[in-house]
Structure 1
């Protein structure tokens, strides 16, 4: 036979072999994260029979809920070569494991996850030849004690050990002696060991991650982690910790990056020792969901955490945030204060965190119209241009103060102000918000959505949710030119589907045709109730098409933000560039340049308003058109002002050049 033909036949045979699955009871799939295939099995009550295969598989996946395997017979995996076996499915309850069950796996198997029936002891002796194991996970086996004789020495290369729901009540002092010499991750969870076994754990000197979850631990004793000098992650959530002994964190503070203490019994008194350590590399800290009255942040708790970037204090009983509570957190990026009882955040409290990117203060309990959250510009001093994501939903707010604060946060990309009882969006409040991509305002009292309500978001907004308000019409100018908008959610509004919605109808159909999603159901007339506006035929709701509207451009034509009307003009205008050239405690100096013909210009005009104060009066005055700067004096120190610059034209119309928010020096 021709040698070339022989080679082709052999190659075809190899390709055919690799394309087959070694059992008809399962499927073999390719996953994007690996060049090796996965054997995925379902609807099994017993282990399948495998035909011999030379292919090395990444994983044998038996976790499907439809599997109900209880026995591993002798040579249960004979015929396959596999790197990982996962038998941790919810309905797997191993009752019997044959001494030769894992025969033939020792060369390639690196990871194994098994689930017992809560009666069967861990099958250590059956696995003793799996010396190349790097990860072992055992759940729901019966292991009352961990002792020196516990044979973890079968696995000299083990890097990760997980023991969950093992009914363990005791870990002896000499447990792990001369064992687990290279382990870097140990997870011991849902057992009953209220006294932390510090002598045993301190033998695991190579640990980088330690999880000791839901074990009933009541105290962190002195020296608990003294020998764990490589530890970077410590998770102690879900215990009963109510005491931090002196020296409890000795040995780990220099390298620790992640610390979870939530779901314990810590409060403002017993948590104080945490702040007495220096944590130079700590980046994430979770102190949420405490099971006691954690009502106040003790002084200096975070002063020694210079690199902390993520702090969770959610679902405690905090009443207020004092001005120095977050002192020391100059690297903070994300903070979660949601689901507390906060009604007061003192001025300057957030100023310690100039890099704060995400703030979550949603759902504060105990708020009401008479006891609102003091959400205002004052509390955002120093962070107003840093914050990109703000969750403030499900709170009682003072509307004017809330919009003043939001107007100053010009770098917002994600804003949720749902369920805050807001009733009106001030004109041009989003004028400078050219990065806002997601805006959620559902379940408020909004009745009107005008073009100037969303002006400034034309090139950034991708999703808007105005569901469950009182809006009955949205004219075509509101979303005209919103090129990135892909999701419009407006369920639960009393939309009257008639010709007044024709412009919106066209826009929604364009979104849907480009792969977006809209939900704008009709409320009336009755024959169209609950039907999606964009799904209608034009003749069903509008028999006489309206004339296309002329939408004003607020960059060049508008009235002041507080006015209810706007004026347009065709008069050619000079090119005017306006800005702030000087600021001190009581004075802001405006400067501007002018290029072009001033024939049609009567004079310039300035409108300014203090934001966040009790007095919302807008002051305005004319300036001679020959001037190129002007000082506004008599301002309040440390206050925010909205300053708008206009041109008064000879035909009695008015043109807006621009608005800026500026803070006077404290």
Structure 2
């Protein structure tokens, strides 16, 4: 218990009684805190900052300067804080108690409430089972993440006119543990995180000042009508990893949030694109649901959409209406990988720059399937079912801006001809490819990275002079093929060459003379013996060449 400060006989009597009590137990009298003293193992600055972080404290430090404004106590083992330990810190503005051993019983409400200047309170990663019943009105930010909270009180965060952010994620909150007016008269709150709790519904009467709301990883099945209608300033809403179904939201659930720019509904139970999406959306997450198709008008309201993520669904091309993306003139990034697309969908956004279609069932690309996408700079078609006869030689003719193309994991027996000449990155590994036909790499003067690993290429599989045409090439990956010799006529620009897991048995002295910029050569797991290595070549390359290991895994250097 803290005694009131008084003068005269009462004060003297109290002091004598305390002194006698201590001496009767063999204790030394407790000294009054020295306002100019810095606790042992702590660092104090003239501007009122006291740093006691990570010094294995088990108790709240005694004798803190009365001028303390910022107190760092994180990463200790403090279990208890009493009222009298905070009573001499009237100027305290920031209190950091993250990652301690505090429990609800060890944190007295009155101690925090009396800190009239407290603005920033950090109590994450403790063992609190309920929040303090009252916090000071001066509070600006409060972090209670990663505790065991099951209950919030009306005055915990209510009546805090300066409150801007509250972090309550990774707790054990249920609907019953949150009061109806949790933020009553806290009209300036901007950030609220309630992720990773056990909420089944959206809290009511959230302040209209919110611009970021995290509700991911809860147990939400439906959103009550009007739950978001007052949140006209909300810009980011995160609802991923819940149990929301098509019936869990109506056509007006999101429509009133006129400022919303980011909406994350990934990893729910949706089978269709939600209706009534707000027109100012920029980023829409719908991945990891069970969406099978996209009707003609499902996305027409989101005219400002730039990023659309639809991967890991059950989309089929025939269920995507040709007009589904019509009018989305700002949409530049579309992810549709890990679906069931049997062909490139029709009507894709004409101004898209990034299109990711890997891991689908696309077996054919016709002459005009990609032609409308003339603004593409990145296209990923890896791990589909493309074969030589089903990939039209003019399929890429319109993609003059394309810089990155992924064709790995298909069934291509030769590198396609007619690839865009402006490519900077080309990956076609794991195809079973047996040939790079004449002219397939011609004109690719900007290509910097070429990955043809895990194919069936032999030394004569590549047309003569192919490598020399690639005047900007810095990375060439030919690992996991059937090469018997180091390729000749490598470009001077080359910096990284991967030839591991081939059948190379010897290296002539002049093998690497034409690549003066080389930084690394990997020749591991070939058929090289010590006698097959030219010592002058190795000496000239220094540590740039790695020849350790052969097919049996031995290490020869």
Q: Name the TM-score, length of structure 1 as normaliser.
A: 0.60
Instruction: Tell which deviates more after alignment, 264-273 or 425-434.
Output: 264-273
1:210 matched to which residue of 2?
A: 237
1:192 CA drift (Å): 3.1
2:168 matched to which residue of 1?
A: 138
Question: Aligned equivalents of 1:353 and 1:77: distance in 2?
Answer: 64
1:356 CA drift (Å): 1.8
Native 8 Å contact 1:209 1:232 kept in 2:
yes
1:421 matched to which residue of 2?
A: 456
Q: Deviations over 1:389-425 (max 9, x none)?
A: 2222222224234x74344433112222221222225
SS in 2 for 1:362: coil
1:165 CA drift (Å): 2.2
Q: Among residues 536, 543, 546, which one is paired with 1:503 in the alignment? A: 536
1:449 CA drift (Å): 0.6
Q: Structure 1: 5+ residue runs without aligned partners?
A: 1-12, 28-36, 512-517, 534-666
Q: CA, structure 1 residues 285+211, in 2 after alignment: closer, same or farther (shift >3 Å)?
A: farther
Question: Aligned equivalents of 1:326 and 1:198: distance in 2?
Answer: 42
1:148 CA drift (Å): 9.5
Question: Aligned equivalents of 1:170 and 1:416: distance in 2?
Answer: 49
1:412 matched to which residue of 2?
A: 447
Normalized per residue, the structure richer in strand is 1
Native 8 Å contact 1:234 1:260 kept in 2:
no
Q: Structure 2: 5+ residue runs without aligned partners?
A: 1-42, 58-69, 282-301
Instruction: Tell which deviates more after alignment, 135-144 or 438-447.
Output: 135-144
1:307-318 matched pairs, under 5 angstroms: 307-318=351-362
1:151 matched to which residue of 2?
A: 182
Native 8 Å contact 1:284 1:308 kept in 2:
yes
1:132-531 matched pairs, under 5 angstroms: 132-139=162-169, 140-144=171-175, 149-153=180-184, 155-171=186-202, 175-176=204-205, 179-195=206-222, 197=224, 199-219=226-246, 221-244=250-273, 252=281, 253-272=302-321, 275-290=324-339, 293-300=340-347, 302=348, 305-343=349-387, 344-364=390-410, 367=411, 372=412, 375-378=415-418, 380=419, 383-385=420-422, 387-401=423-437, 404-424=439-459, 425-452=462-489, 454=490, 456=491, 458-459=492-493, 461-480=494-513, 482-498=515-531, 500-509=533-542, 511=544, 518-521=545-548, 523=550, 529-531=554-556
Question: Aligned equivalents of 2:511 and 2:327: distance in 1?
Answer: 53
Q: CA, structure 1 residues 246+169, in 2 after alignment: closer, same or farther (shift >3 Å)?
A: closer
Question: Aligned equivalents of 1:53 and 1:442: distance in 2?
Answer: 68
SS in 1 for 2:156: helix
Q: Name the TM-score, length of structure 2 as normaliser.
A: 0.70
1:121 matched to which residue of 2?
A: 151
Q: CA, structure 1 residues 111+350, in 2 after alignment: closer, same or farther (shift >3 Å)?
A: farther
Q: CA, structure 1 residues 160+462, in 2 after alignment: closer, same or farther (shift >3 Å)?
A: farther
Q: Deviations over 1:167-210 (max 9, x none)?
A: 222338xx44xx43233333331223344556323432223333
Q: CA, structure 1 residues 60+229, in 2 after alignment: closer, same or farther (shift >3 Å)?
A: same
SS in 2 for 1:405: coil
Q: CA, structure 1 residues 471+255, in 2 after alignment: closer, same or farther (shift >3 Å)?
A: same
CA RMSD of aligned residues (A): 4.3
Q: CA, structure 1 residues 490+204, in 2 after alignment: closer, same or farther (shift >3 Å)?
A: farther
Question: Aligned equivalents of 2:176 and 2:382: distance in 1?
Answer: 40
1:614-653 matched pairs, under 5 angstroms: none
Q: CA, structure 1 residues 183+450, in 2 after alignment: closer, same or farther (shift >3 Å)?
A: same
Native 8 Å contact 2:522 2:547 kept in 1:
yes
Native 8 Å contact 1:141 1:166 kept in 2:
yes
Q: Deviations over 1:249-301 (max 9, x none)?
A: 666422222222333343334443872541122232222334xx33334321x
1:312 CA drift (Å): 2.5
SS in 2 for 1:275: coil
